[in-house]
Amino acid sequence: MIRMSELSPLPASEAWMPFRPGIDGDWNVAQAAHLYRRGGFGAPLEQLQQAVDQSPDQAVSGLIEAVEPDTYRSTMATLAHAAAASGDTRSLAAWWLRRIISSPAQAQERLVLFWHGHFATSAEKVTDVSLMLQQNELLRTHAMSGFEPFVQAVSQDPAMLLWLDAAASRKAHPNENYARELMELFCLGEGKYTEQDIREAARCFTGWEVRRKQFRFNRFQHDNGSKTVLGVTGEFGGEDVVQVVLQQSAAAEFLICKLVRYYLRDDIADVVNLCQPLIRQYRDNGLVLKPILKQILNSRLFHSPWCVGYRVRSPIDLAAGLLRCFAGSANTVQLSDQTKEAGQGLFFPPGVQGWDEGRAWINTSTLLGRSNLIAEMLADSATRFSGQSPADYVRDKFSDNAETIVRQIQDLLFSRPIPGSTAAQAVELLHRRTDQSIREALQLLCSIPEFQLC
């Protein structure tokens, strides 16, 4: 990637210390909106006001510890199985987008999306919808827990094995694909291993197969010989290799830096040094993610002006974020088709490297696609804001004064100031109070450059 990178205004020793309201900045609705947009996919005004009544620390804990009630989980499970039974990946994508929009466990869904980009597997190749669902549930189960059991589980996940052709890697001709991506994309990063390490690691994974949609170890196809991977020698199997890889000091560094770029901003200069305190702690606690995530979302750097408004909204952020801020719902089949058109199809990452995030979301084509997505969402009768049509909702819920409406939308949806000229045009449209003029005002606001950032 080419881009200018920016040095953190805070040194590593202070960046990750807890945010102090009044000293490091204000703790208000706009700041709480930042927390919910990044940690989850946004929140309606009532939830933000509740968060402001708490301390930032409590709000972060509330966000991370939130769980889905049993009834919600069982409804989601029923819908998921119906989607899987349909054999149509579009149904499954619509199901997940609905969960992203409606789940009370927002931090969890945010991480599931992060992991989907990290362990990117595409339904383009893995056409069995039930296996894609199984992987999605696996990402959810392990989202905040220990990285080693997570990678072990992913390595034996049928969708992953099929995706990276590990499912038919035999003793005589090991297939290198999984071994390479395990080191390059999942755990260590390019340049932290040699080609010889890949060849040797591939031998360790021989005999790992998928039979009747399940992982199976075929000892007849496993290479039992001695292998040397990353300087360690033994008669390794696949589990051993995962362990060896994760024992590298590069592992914690690779993941934490990626996570910090995802949650804060993707153009951080000298990110390894900045992240040292987090990396140390992640290693010390055995690569368990939850406490690190808490620390990141409660940190001075995360709540600093250097971070707010410097992340590019992905198409899912854009669609889900708008709906969540208005307690909305929509036809997610159509909506997930549109996020795909704008560059982010759930279950269809562009390749093994996942989505490139950041500026990569923005090009002339996706910018028009993003605006069109908003237009179609607002025009669709299935789109409801808190049970009402978007126009009714704006008329009922917001003040009568068009200037005040724009100011409220600013706090709720924007991390950057709406330019004066756009605000004036939106006020004029809102003032007319017709269904169409309200929709036009919302589309305008959600298409300007400032809205692409959060």
Contact residues for other proteins (CB under 8 A)?
2, 4, 164-165, 167-177, 180, 184, 190-191, 195, 198, 267, 310, 312, 341, 343, 350-353, 356, 359-360, 362-369, 371-372, 375-376, 379, 416-417, 419-422, 425, 436, 439-440, 443-444, 447-450, 452-453
Least Å from the CB of residue 4 to other proteins: 6
Least Å from the CB of residue 15 to other proteins: 20
Least Å from the CB of residue 419 to other proteins: 5
Least Å from the CB of residue 420 to other proteins: 7
Least Å from the CB of residue 146 to other proteins: 27
Beta carbon nearer to other proteins, 288 or 367: 367
Beta carbon nearer to other proteins, 214 or 353: 353
- Helix crossing, 435-445 with 420-432: angle to 10°? 160
> In 3D, which of 30, 65, 45, 61 has the Cα closest to residue 324?
45
Residues 6 or more apart whose Cβ sits within 8 Å of residue 81: 133
Query: In whole angstroms, what is the distance from residue 320 CA to residue 43 CA?
Result: 10
Beta carbon nearer to other proteins, 61 or 372: 372
16 within 8 A of 75, measured Cβ to Cβ: no
Least Å from the CB of residue 191 to other proteins: 7
For residue 141, give Cα distances in angstroms to 113, 137, 150, 275: 13, 6, 9, 26
Query: In whole angstroms, what is the distance from residue 75 CA to residue 99 CA?
Result: 10
Query: In whole angstroms, what is the distance from residue 332 CA to residue 98 CA?
Result: 6
Query: In whole angstroms, what is the distance from residue 407 CA to residue 390 CA?
Result: 18
> In 3D, which of 165, 184, 160 has the Cα closest to residue 176?
165
Beta carbon nearer to other proteins, 198 or 230: 198
Beta carbon nearer to other proteins, 163 or 385: 163
Neighbours of 107 (CB within 10 A): 25
Beta carbon nearer to other proteins, 57 or 337: 337
Least Å from the CB of residue 436 to other proteins: 6
Beta carbon nearer to other proteins, 327 or 445: 445
